[in-house]
Structure 1
Amino acid sequence: MNSNQFFTQSRLLTQLVLVFILITTGFSSLAADISVDVSRNPVHVNESVDITFTADGVTDGDPDFSPLENDFEILSQSSSSQVSMINGAVSRNYQWIISVIPKQTGGLIIPSIAFGSDRSPASMLQVNASSQQSSTQSDDIFVEVEATPLDPYVQAQVVYTVRVYHRVGISQAELSEPEIDNAVVEQLQKDSKYRTQRGQFTYDVYERRYAIFPQRSGNHTIAPIRLNAQIVTGRRNGGFFFSRDITRTERFVSKSVALNVKPVPAAFTGKYWLPASSMELTQTWSADPAQAVAGEPMTRTMVIQSEGLMKSQLPVLSKLQKESIAGSDVKIYPDQPVLTQAGTAKGILSRREEKIAIIPEKSGVVKLPAMEIPWWNTQTDRMETARIDETVMNVKAASGSKSFSSIPQSTDTKTDQNDSAVFNISSSEQTANDFWKWASLGLGLGWLLTLIAVAYYLHYQRKHATRHEQDNREQRTRDQRSRAGRQLKQACQNNQAADARTALLNWAQARWPENPPTNLATIGRRLPALHSVIEELEQSLYNASAEPWDGSAFWEQFKTHRKHNPTRSNRADTPLEPLFKT
């Protein structure tokens, strides 16, 4: 081996050693060092604390903070990175700040968090009992709740009021919704704000009201309302334009409320259970029923309105009328009902209006029986009856039209006389008239074809210009149906009738955007194949004696209907994608 070969091999060996050192050093640097810090230790159970994870290099993967949820409620997350250069060496730091509230007292373990194959160390956080007193008039912030009545009847309205009192600055706040099993919850009006005096302190008050309709009798509990508030504790001076509040997040919890829900009273004998504080039934006519004419329609408008019932609980008036006049010489044709609902400080006001075309078939006296709807007055705790008195229609025979034999025959005579008075036209004059007649006809056809061509062109341009907009609208409708369909499937799997009702209404509103149904009964009329299962859903919602709702049967029927009746877009030749995949 000569000297050149020796130096060549030595240089190659040196390069391999350097490459090995670089690779080893590079891989060892991939294992990021992760530290954990908390903003305060110890803390109280209702106070938030920030947990900061800091990595001094690139981690192997994104963090999974789900283990924190065992002992903490995660309020927010944020992340940031910082690059620095010291003496030519570049370093990177990554931070994740998790704001949490402890779920219990004691020594809680902040578990080791996985960043891919990298992991943070576990640490300890001491959580002490709440520093707050129990919602007294000396607290800076507290939450009060009130329910009226505490012993409602099943499906009757309970007005639930939430009030947040505070005498310190709040930058942001989140208030939980009422939670109660087997109940329908509706928010009333918008939040109100006012100021009140409690003892020697003046408080700003935010008030929110709900209407709760328990669907099962027995003992029920409205879970405590939770308020997460960012309380202003100071202000960080960053110049005239950049100053910002210094806040801390605390949680405040109300008391729970117990309801003793009573079943339908034995004294109630009506067909439909209607617990309300007031109810009224009225009617109007498009014409005087005493002047009715056989074969000519008249419109009867019936309105039922109530305090303390949802619009979906009001009975179908046209069905009651059909039952009352069955077998009489009258045909009735109900129109689509108009249902409205509004929230007030006292609860829900609902109204149902139905227009019914009534056609008497023959002359004579037709009596429309009185209509009575029993309901339970929750104020007086007794049964009452909303009533429309009997209506008498004096039907007159339709006036006959004149027969053809009565038409005067003098017309034919005049025609004959006019025909006999026509002059004979020479052959040359006849030829000239024929030429101009055909020329006029040709010009007229030319103008007509021109107008048709222009109209077709304008129609094509208009159709082409709106096609893109129509595609976007149809895509939004498909997305809305898909979301509602997934929600309906989930509700059916969980046997949640109230959630299924909401999801089905959302789906139907996307299915018929031009004329969206407002209740389950309308959907049942439009989809006869689903009428029976929709009735079962309604009964489970609004009939205290109904059996528990079986969502699987509803879903199978709905899925079968969708399979055999695929929804199509407005362009009949363009099929839509499936509503949702199963």
Structure 2
Amino acid sequence: MVIRQFFILLLLAIGVVNPAFALTKIEATVDRNPVMLGEYFVLNISVDDEIDTGKLDTSALLRDFIVGRTSVSRSTQIMNFDAVKETRWQVLLAPKQKGQLTIPAFSIDGINSAPIPLQVVESGGQPAQMKNLFIDAKVSTDEAYVGQLITYKVKLYLAVELQRGVLSAPVIEGGQIKQVGEDKDGSEIVDGRRYRVIERTYGIIPDLPGQINIKGATFAGDVLVESQRRGGMFGFNESRPMQAGAPSLTVQVNPAPASFLGQWLVADLVVLKETFPEDITEFTVGSPITRTITLLASNADENSLPDINQTLPDELKLYPEKPQRQTFVREAQIVSQYSISSAIVPSKAGTFTLPEINIPWWNPHLKREETATLPARTIVVKGGAITDTPTAPAWQANSTADNNDSWMVKAFAALWLITLVVWIITLIAWRRALKNQITAPIALNSAPAATISGLHGLEKACASGDVGHIMLQLQRYFSELEQTPMTLDKIAEQSLPLAEAIQQLQLTAYSANANNANPHLSAQCAALLNAVKTYQRQHSKPKSVALSPLNPR
């Protein structure tokens, strides 16, 4: 009898310590209310059990909302010898219309959540103090011409810490778009609240007349926001996905006027200038004169700048180099430049005129044709040294003059040929020496200290067994190696082994047993490290070295 009572008490104790888990509650919340039209907010759905993620049906949201990225997490906590399990969904939503909307109730295994009434206000109607992240964009003009460079500036305002993210370019039809210059990182105060501001400039060039619609730039990423667990005393930071978009804009595009003559060029200002040896008053026959002509255009595309053709007298031989085109930002203005250098070789003595150069262009502000002019220039050329010769008959003098001219031409040609050969030999020797000097250091220093430390951090993360930390260290390593921010998608594009290793780790991170020890994690980490080291060896192989660009990105 005593033994029977003992077993009954033991079973009751086991039942108390290990209760049967069952879903009893579904809770749905939003991170803010009201929300702005077209702006994303986060819907959090949590249940007090570990369940199959496919049991949650969110299709009812599609009627009134744009459904973005959905993430799932699971957790287990032991409180007073009781195991508390939770499954949580985070869903990015953007309302399709303003007014009063309702997030419907969700049902799992007969348990329902409460519906959420949601107020949607017009874009710009929400006070700036309530915004943690938003985008603003503007164009330089609402009316333009075909081929005109329209400046599109977008600003990303952040009141929270940015963990990772991508700022995507605006989308247009009937035009070209490209980023101009580097991103600017600063800060601004909006309605008394300080924001970190990332500013980017794009150039838009319409191809056809009419109205073009510019779909605003967008941002998608993760930020760290301060949160507080229910019943907890202390706040903590948690990663939260966020998306935002700039409003759409329209620009009216006019065709090029039929009265315009020449190659079509539209800009705010066009200037012609030249570099010429001003300190020399007289030039010598056969001595080259270096002349550089530069065309500058404000708010114009470099490819729209016309080629400059120089028409010179027959006594001046022209040897032009390949023209150079570039675009840069100066004092918040986009400036395009066309530059061409030429060697002018006089073949006879005398006074000669370099004709003026005219470039027609269209002023969109005054709506009229204007001309950029490089004034004409006069140069004086003298002959070489003159020696006295005995007087000879007229026929002999003519013959001697002809022979002297012929001798001078041959001598000049021979000297030119010798100079060319010596220059080619010197160039080949210089390039070989430069290759030997540059290639060796690169082969020795192919793994900089920053990259080695990043690989060491990745190895430590793999040893910790934290998949999230492994992914973060992987992004840091490749960002240091490539000298540019690298997302997991970009890293996966570098090689097939990297893509497979990342995919396996992501499956581990979002699997049903993500919180339990994974027996395959060690093998997955080994595959990842092997793929990383293989890519590093291929990346660090000595290559033919080119000179660094003046403005590296």
TM-score in terms of structure 1 length: 0.49
Question: For residues 93 and 42 of structure 1, do their structure 2 counterparts lie closer, same or farther at Cα, with a shift above 3 Å needed?
Answer: same
Q: Give the 3-state SS of the residue equivalent to 2:348 in structure 1.
A: coil
Match of 2:255 in 1: 263
Q: CA deviation at 1:389?
A: 1.6
Residue number among 357, 373, 379 corresponding to 1:393 in the alignment: 379
* Contact 1:43/1:126 (8 A) holds in 2: no
Q: CA deviation at 1:78?
A: 6.0
* Contact 2:439/2:544 (8 A) holds in 1: no
Q: CA deviation at 1:351?
A: 3.2
Alignment of 1:175-190 (within 5 A): 177-181=169-173, 182-187=175-180, 190=184
Match of 1:297 in 2: 288
Q: Which runs of 5+ in 1 are unaligned?
A: 1-32, 113-118, 404-458, 478-482, 488-509, 519-582
Q: CA deviation at 1:460?
A: 11
* Contact 2:44/2:88 (8 A) holds in 1: no
* Contact 1:283/1:300 (8 A) holds in 2: yes
Q: Give the 3-state SS of the residue equivalent to 2:383 in structure 1.
A: coil
Q: CA deviation at 1:392?
A: 2.7
Question: For residues 371 and 84 of structure 1, do their structure 2 counterparts lie closer, same or farther at Cα, with a shift above 3 Å needed?
Answer: same
Q: Give the 3-state SS of the residue equivalent to 1:184 in structure 2.
A: strand
**In the alignment, structure 1 residue 151 sits paired with structure 2 residue 151:** no
Question: For residues 127 and 85 of structure 1, do their structure 2 counterparts lie closer, same or farther at Cα, with a shift above 3 Å needed?
Answer: closer
Inter-partner Cα distance in structure 1 for 2:245 and 2:370: 41
Alignment of 1:27-66 (within 5 A): 38-40=28-30, 47-51=41-45, 56=50
**In the alignment, structure 1 residue 280 sits paired with structure 2 residue 271:** yes
- The one-letter code sitting in structure 1 at the alignment partner of 2:349 is S
- The one-letter code sitting in structure 1 at the alignment partner of 2:215 is A
- The one-letter code sitting in structure 1 at the alignment partner of 2:252 is N
Q: Which runs of 5+ in 2 are unaligned?
A: 1-22, 390-434, 449-480, 483-489, 495-542
Inter-partner Cα distance in structure 1 for 2:367 and 2:274: 27
Inter-partner Cα distance in structure 2 for 1:461 and 1:292: 40
Inter-partner Cα distance in structure 2 for 1:176 and 1:462: 37
Question: For residues 389 and 69 of structure 1, do their structure 2 counterparts lie closer, same or farther at Cα, with a shift above 3 Å needed?
Answer: farther
Q: CA deviation at 1:465?
A: 8.1
Match of 1:565 in 2: none
Match of 1:135 in 2: 124
Q: CA deviation at 1:184?
A: 1.9
Match of 2:317 in 1: 330
* Contact 1:109/1:123 (8 A) holds in 2: no
- The one-letter code sitting in structure 1 at the alignment partner of 2:214 is I
Question: For residues 56 and 316 of structure 1, do their structure 2 counterparts lie closer, same or farther at Cα, with a shift above 3 Å needed?
Answer: same
Inter-partner Cα distance in structure 2 for 1:103 and 1:49: 12
Question: For residues 163 and 464 of structure 1, do their structure 2 counterparts lie closer, same or farther at Cα, with a shift above 3 Å needed?
Answer: closer
Inter-partner Cα distance in structure 2 for 1:67 and 1:327: 80
Equivalenced residue count is 381
Q: CA deviation at 1:370?
A: 1.3
* Contact 1:234/1:246 (8 A) holds in 2: yes
- The one-letter code sitting in structure 1 at the alignment partner of 2:179 is E
Match of 2:360 in 1: 374
Question: For residues 72 and 195 of structure 1, do their structure 2 counterparts lie closer, same or farther at Cα, with a shift above 3 Å needed?
Answer: closer
Inter-partner Cα distance in structure 1 for 2:228 and 2:77: 29
Inter-partner Cα distance in structure 1 for 2:439 and 2:127: 69
Inter-partner Cα distance in structure 1 for 2:236 and 2:111: 33
Inter-partner Cα distance in structure 1 for 2:357 and 2:549: 29
Question: For residues 48 and 187 of structure 1, do their structure 2 counterparts lie closer, same or farther at Cα, with a shift above 3 Å needed?
Answer: farther
Inter-partner Cα distance in structure 2 for 1:50 and 1:211: 36
Q: Give the 3-state SS of the residue equivalent to 1:276 in structure 2.
A: coil
Residue number among 358, 375, 390 corresponding to 2:344 in the alignment: 358
Q: Give the 3-state SS of the residue equivalent to 2:271 in structure 1.
A: strand
Match of 1:195 in 2: 189
Q: CA deviation at 1:155?
A: 2.3
- The one-letter code sitting in structure 1 at the alignment partner of 2:120 is S
Q: CA deviation at 1:183?
A: 2.9
Q: Give the 3-state SS of the residue equivalent to 1:355 in structure 2.
A: strand
The Cα offsets for residues 445-492 of structure 1, whole Å up to 9 and x where unpaired, read as xxxxxxxxxxxxxx99999886565799xxx99xxxxx9xx99xxxxx
* Contact 1:42/1:128 (8 A) holds in 2: no
* Contact 1:342/1:349 (8 A) holds in 2: yes
Inter-partner Cα distance in structure 2 for 1:237 and 1:361: 91
Alignment of 1:154-173 (within 5 A): 154-162=146-154, 170-172=160-162
Q: CA deviation at 1:92?
A: 12
Rg: which structure is higher?
A: 1
Q: Give the 3-state SS of the residue equivalent to 1:101 in structure 2.
A: strand
Q: Give the 3-state SS of the residue equivalent to 1:342 in structure 2.
A: strand
Q: Mean Cα displacement is larger for which, 221-230 or 260-269?
A: 221-230
- The one-letter code sitting in structure 1 at the alignment partner of 2:364 is T
Inter-partner Cα distance in structure 2 for 1:135 and 1:123: 35
Inter-partner Cα distance in structure 2 for 1:513 and 1:94: 57
Q: Give the 3-state SS of the residue equivalent to 1:514 in structure 2.
A: coil
Q: Mean Cα displacement is larger for which, 205-214 or 377-386?
A: 205-214
Q: CA deviation at 1:337?
A: 3.0
Inter-partner Cα distance in structure 2 for 1:66 and 1:513: 54
Inter-partner Cα distance in structure 2 for 1:53 and 1:74: 21
Match of 1:221 in 2: 213
- The one-letter code sitting in structure 1 at the alignment partner of 2:318 is K
Q: CA deviation at 1:259?
A: 0.7
Q: Give the 3-state SS of the residue equivalent to 2:93 in structure 1.
A: strand
